[in-house]
Amino acid sequence: MVYFLALHFASLVCTLCEGEAKATYRILSYRILSYLLQVSLRIQFLHSMSDLTLFSYSVPTWSHIYRGSKE
């Protein structure tokens, strides 16, 4: 759903602008579209995992790496 909203926004911006501004806004809207697509794919992947949620994983600290802890 986010993908379709971003695509609609990109097409709307491209139809409203003209000339050089149109090219600039098209590039910007495609970057926003790709960012939103990446975020939505990451969220879908995290929700598809049965034992993971958005907040269940943590970045290991240097003390965990040094001690060899697998928490």
For the chain, domain boundaries: 2-67
Q: Which of these, 4, 10, 9, 2, lies nearest to 43 by C-alpha position?
A: 2
Q: Could you give the C-alpha distances from 2 to 11, 16, 34, 42, in angstroms and in order?
A: 14, 21, 11, 13
pLDDT tens per residue, range 12-67: 666 666 666 667 777 777 777 778 778 777 777 776 765 554 455 555 555 554 55
Q: State if pTM tops 0.75.
A: no
Label residues 56-69 b or e (16+ Cβ within 10 Å = b): eeeeeeeeeeeeee
Evaluate whether 13 touches 33 at the Cβ level (below 8 Å): no
